[in-house]
Amino acid sequence: MSFNKIDKQLLDSLIDPEELYQNAPCGYLSFLPDGTIIKVNKTLANWLGFSAEELLYETKFTDLISKGFRFQNQTDTEVILAGYQAYGTDFFKELKGMFAFSLFDEKAGQTFLVRDELGIKPLYYYAESSELYFASEVKAFKAFDPNWKENKEWPIYFLSFGFIPEPYTTLAGVYNLPKGHYLIWDHVKQQRTIQKFAADYPTTKKINETEAVSNTKTNLDKAVKRHLISDAPIGVFLSGGIDSSLLSLIANEQNAQTINTVSINFNEPEFSEQHYQEIIAEQIQSKHISYTVTAKDFEENIAQIFQDMDQPSNDGINSWFVNKVAKENGLKAVLSGIGADELFGGYPSFKRHSIIKALQKAPRFILRLAKYLPNDKLKRISFLAYKNPIGEYLFLRGFYTPNVVSQLLGVTEKQVEKLLSQYPIHKEIEKLSAEDRISWFETNLYMQNQLLKDTDYMSMAHGVEVRVPFLDQDVVSAAQELPTKSRFSQQPKSLLIAAYRKLLPEAIWNRPKKGFTFPFQQWFKHYQPMLNETHYQGNIEALALLEQFKSGKLHWSKLFAVYQVFYRARQK
C-alpha cells in the first residue's frame, strides 16, 4: 500500500511528514519530540511501522543488551526490531501495553501484523487476491480506493448490537485483527495465517479477601505509575465516578507534579456530576479543567464528529468532546477509567445472571415469542432462544430484534437470525461462572467493540493519547484469577472500594452509579436532520420509530442507530 495515498487521512492528528521511505534498504522511521523524522539505516533487514502509545518490555531489554544489541535511542522501534531478531515471534508475548504494529522481514519474505493482548489499539487488514493492505482506521481503505465495496451485512450487525462487532467492518474483506494475535503474510506464497500469542484466560486461584484487596491495590498502583510516564503534559479524565476518581487520587500520590484533571459538565443539572468532580479536584489540588458542553456545542460540532467517526457508533460523541477539551488545554496524554466496570462488576448486567438462568429454563419456542411483546426490553428475551451464548449478550445489551431489523433493512428475518446465531464466540466462555461470564461479555463485546473503538478514533481525531491503567495486563490477569465471590458482590466494585477505602471519599462510592452520559434525549429532539422524515426514504418501520422517539417512548440511541444507517446509505 502506498503511504502517500493514505498519510493525509491517517496522520492528520499527528504530523505532516514531507517524505516517507519506501523500499528502503532497511531500517525504520522514528520521530523526535518536535515531529522531525529520524531516518535510520540498520543492519537488520526489517521494517517496522506501528501505533504504540504505551509499550513495555522490561523482561527482555537487559537480555537483548547482553546479546550484543546496542540501542541509539532505546525507542520502542529499536527494541521491537532487536527483540524480533533475537527471539522471533516469541518476542511478541513479552510486550505489554497498547500497540499495533507491522513488521516486514525482508530475508524471510514475510510481513507480520501484531495487535496488543487487550485489543486497546485497532489494526485493520485486507489479505485477499494476492494483496495485503492494513491500517489503523477503516476509512484509510476508502482513501486508498474510493470505490472499495461495502460489507452488505454491517447494518444487520450494527442495528442488532449497537456497534459492528469484531472482526467485521463496514467494508468487504476488511477485518480487525483479533487481539493478542499476529498475522503472517507470506509474500512468496501470497497467503496469510493468523496465530495467537496472548495467554489463555487464567485459572481461578484460591485467595482470601485480605490478599485479594492487597493484590488489587498493588497492581493498580503500579499500573497507574507506569501509565504516567510521559515526555508531554498528561492528565486524567475525571467524571466524578469511582473509576476516574481513583485514577486521579492514585496519580496524585504517584506524581510529584500537580495533576491535570479534565471534566465535562452540562447546564442540565440531572446530568452534571460537577459536585463530585470538585470533591476530588479539591482533595488533590489538581489543575482542574471543567468545560460545560451545551446543546449549541453539540449542533455546531456534530458534522465534524460524523467525519471523525471511523465506524458507525452510538457512543463516541462524549469521547469526542472530552478529548477536544484536553487538546485545547495542551494535554497530549490522558488516563481513562475504561475497564474498571467490566473487571470489577460495575454494570447493572452483573445482577441479571439469575434472570438469564431462570428464563433459559423456558422452552425455546416460548422465548422466541417474546419478540412480539410491546415492551422494547422484553423483546430481547427472544435472544435467549439462541444456542449460541451471543444470545445472552444480546439479551443484556442488544438493540433491535431480528424481526425489526428485517423490516428496517428489507432483508428476511431468517437472514438476520442466521447471521447473529453464527457469530463466533470463544469457547473459553463455557468454563466461566455466571458473573465471570458477564464480565467476559462486557469486556470482549461491549468494551472491545464500543468503548475502546470509539475512544481510539475520537482521541486520535484530536491528537490525544488515551491510556487505560485498568487494562494493564497485570491488573487484568490478577483480577480474572480472583474467586468470583472476591471480585463480584452485591455492591458494584466492592473490591476496588475496599482496596482504596482510606483514599476514596465516601461521597464518591456510596451513591448510585450514574455513568458518563450526555443529555442526548433532549438534544436530539432538536436535531432536525434526525427528525426529518424524508431522511428515512419512506421506510415504514423507521418512520414508526421516529414517532416513538418524538413521543418520548424510544431511547435516543435506538433512533440514532437507524439514522446512521440511512445517513451512510446517502454517502455512497
Q: Are residues 28 and 116 in the same domain?
A: yes
Q: β-pairing, 110-115 with 96-105? A: antiparallel
Q: β-pairing, 191-196 with 260-265? A: unpaired
Q: Are residues 126 and 155 in the same domain?
A: yes
Q: Does residue 56 belong to any structural domain of this protein?
A: yes
Asked if residue 409 lies in contact with residue 155, where contact means CB atoms within 8 angstroms, the answer is yes
Phi, psi torsion values for 71, nearest 5 degrees? -115, 125
Widest distance between CA atoms in the chain: 71
Asked if residue 334 lies in contact with residue 418, where contact means CB atoms within 8 angstroms, the answer is no
Asked if residue 31 lies in contact with residue 101, where contact means CB atoms within 8 angstroms, the answer is no
Amino acid at 346: G
**pLDDT at position 375 over 90:** no
> In this predicted model, what pLDDT tens digit does every residue of 119-150 receive, in sequence order?
999 999 999 888 899 999 999 999 889 999 99
Q: Does residue 401 belong to any structural domain of this protein?
A: no
Amino acid at 341: D
- Give strand pairing partners of 263: 290
Q: Are residues 183 and 264 in the same domain?
A: no
pTM value is 0.90
> In this predicted model, what pLDDT tens digit does every residue of 33-89 receive, in sequence order?
443 333 333 444 555 665 545 555 555 667 777 777 777 766 777 788 888 888 899
Q: Does residue 560 belong to any structural domain of this protein?
A: no
Q: Are residues 234 and 277 in the same domain?
A: yes
> In this predicted model, what pLDDT tens digit does every residue of 212-224 receive, in sequence order?
999 999 999 999 9
Domain of residue 245, residue span = 209-292+318-345+450-513
Q: Are residues 105 and 239 in the same domain?
A: no
Asked if residue 178 lies in contact with residue 115, where contact means CB atoms within 8 angstroms, the answer is yes
CATH number at residue 129: 3.60.20.10
- Domain tally for the chain? 2
Indicate the average pLDDT of the chain. 87
Q: Does residue 266 belong to any structural domain of this protein?
A: yes
Q: Are residues 58 and 188 in the same domain?
A: yes
Q: Does residue 350 belong to any structural domain of this protein?
A: no
